[in-house]
Structure 1
Amino acid sequence: MADAASKAELAARALALVDLTNLNDGCTAADIDALCARAVTEHGHVAAVCVYPAFVAQAKAKLAGTPVKVATVVNFPAGGVDTRAVVEETARAIADGADEIDLVMPYRAFVEGRRGFAEEMIIRVKAAIPAPAQLKVILETGEIGDPLLIHQASLTAIAAGADFIKTSTGKVKVNATLEAAEIMLTVIDEVRTEQPGRHVGFKPAGGIRTLDEAAAYLALADRILGPNWVSSATFRFGASGLLDALIDVIKGGAGSAREGY
């Protein structure tokens, strides 16, 4: 990224892909109001806000009349094995107005070899989400670790109906990495080739706080899936501090960011 104009253009591209997130412990109603107030800026709007289920109705009301979607998390962050409870949590979130559900796959069960169980949970959660609401499946790639298992988890989630596959919760030691992103984007490309018309998106989340970091993921997606693939329908950044960094660059600054998810 050479000059300020190209950096600002790239920052504007990334801004429209942000899932502006507050999944902090102790998050309050006032925090959600503040989050929603940041979602529409003079430089454009983010793709979505991502909040805990308890705040979905509040966020939906605050963002009424805007293009910003409301996403929430289920089975979060532990990726537990109570499928019935997760389906009920999903149904409540949809009833409250959630446009997108970010489900933590039961990744420990998957790693232990219970792949059919993990797939069944995703299938049942997907069935509880009426169109046009969408399902993002969080693999927790930093905990899975093994590249072959990340590849298999990506395939499993997609086969079970995921509209997006997402790297991480942002709550573990290792969250989004370019190595995991490359595996996941490659799987999306494989699926696109083998199943024409099957569209699956990608969401890196956790630890992406600067334009340079965001740019690396965009460059990877452009290389693997083509320069016209990325849009808010196919690619999101799960982040909190990234938005401030992008706006700072658009205004001509160096891209300072808030700390956070």
Structure 2
Amino acid sequence: MNEATPRLVAAKALSLLDLTDLSDDCDAAAIETLCRQANTPFGPTAAICIWPRFVALARELLGAGSAIRIATVVNFPSGDLPVDAVIAETRQAIADGADEIDLVIPYKALIAGNEDAVRQMIRAVREACPPPVTLKTILETGELKDRDLIRNASHLAISSGTDFIKTSTGKVAVNATLEAADIMLNAIRESGRNVGFKPAGGVRTVGEAALYLNLAATIHGPDWAMPSTFRFGASGLLGDIVAVLEGRESGTQSAAY
């Protein structure tokens, strides 16, 4: 992506975007708006990412044959729920029409040295996600902080059967960073497994998206990033993507996620 024009980067980012509304005041009207925004004049986003309680509504709005996938979050945002509760949450979301499950690992337990808690959670939710449901695991790298801990969390998630590793919930002080992305993308390469990567929270402009795409291309090759291997989790990025594709000025959008 190093020599790609802003328009090419914007088009690529659009195809990789999980358009997100995980705001605390999200309501049915906001989901209707999100579903409408996800169908842009330049093509659809890869997915929308929403609270579990809105999955059935989104499925109704998008329709069964929609190219836009529905992602939802479980054990979110704390990572502290019991395994049984997370499994129940996951199964209900899939029954309601979710295509993708974004699971927060018990990262506080991992910080305390309990790797088994992470393995057990991911394996249990993996079992509750039959194909073709995609499982993404949220490491909450801004709370893990330590490079070795982020790398260890990445390898734990990969070896436990996840389809993607994702940086963040977007609900803590530090979310996606290029440093965390570098560690996670290299962990995927080290594993030799076909696992995707999702930076989430804080990617707001096409220029910022290009930095992550360039990093992925450097580590995995120029053709690696596609919807099955790379997603952006963001709410504000779409506005900047559309601005660039329409030939307007970039870098004016801001959002919490």
Tell me if both proteins adopt one fold, taking TM over 0.5 as the criterion: yes
C-alpha separation between the residues in 1 aligned to 2:44 and 2:198? 17
TM-score, L = length of structure 2: 0.97
Query: Which residue pairs with 2:229 in the alignment?
Result: 234
1:1-261 → structure 2 map (5 Å cutoff) = 6-64=5-63, 65-192=65-192, 198-255=193-250, 256-261=252-257
C-alpha separation between the residues in 1 aligned to 2:235 and 2:2? 26
Shift of 1:66: 2.0
Shift of 1:187: 0.6
C-alpha separation between the residues in 1 aligned to 2:126 and 2:43? 31
Shift of 1:199: 1.0
Letter in 1 for 2:11: A
Deviations 1:80-109 (A, max 9, x none): 041110111001001101000000000000
Shift of 1:46: 0.4
Query: Which residue pairs with 1:195 in the alignment?
Result: none
C-alpha separation between the residues in 1 aligned to 2:253 and 2:35? 18
C-alpha separation between the residues in 2 aligned to 1:24 and 1:254? 27
C-alpha separation between the residues in 2 aligned to 1:244 and 1:59? 21
Task: Structure 2: state its 5+ residue gaps.
Answer: none
Shift of 1:63: 1.2
Q: Which stretch shifts more, 55-64 or 134-143?
A: 55-64
Mark the CA change 1:128 to 1:104 in structure 2 (over 3 Å): closer, same or farther.
same
Q: How many residues align?
A: 255
Shift of 1:54: 0.1
Shift of 1:260: 3.0
Shift of 1:42: 1.0
Shift of 1:138: 0.1
TM-score, L = length of structure 1: 0.95
C-alpha separation between the residues in 1 aligned to 2:45 and 2:22? 17
C-alpha separation between the residues in 2 aligned to 1:79 and 1:230? 28
Return structure 1 stretches of 4+ with deviation > 3 angstroms.
none
C-alpha separation between the residues in 1 aligned to 2:254 and 2:59? 24
Identity of aligned residues (%): 55
Equivalent residues of 2:11, 2:241 under 8 A apart: yes
C-alpha separation between the residues in 1 aligned to 2:39 and 2:165? 25
C-alpha separation between the residues in 1 aligned to 2:77 and 2:256? 16
Letter in 2 for 1:45: P
Letter in 1 for 2:13: A
Mark the CA change 1:249 to 1:91 in structure 2 (over 3 Å): closer, same or farther.
same
C-alpha separation between the residues in 1 aligned to 2:66 and 2:41? 13
C-alpha separation between the residues in 2 aligned to 1:2 and 1:221? 11
Shift of 1:17: 0.4
Task: Structure 1: state its 5+ residue gaps.
Answer: 193-197
Shift of 1:191: 1.4
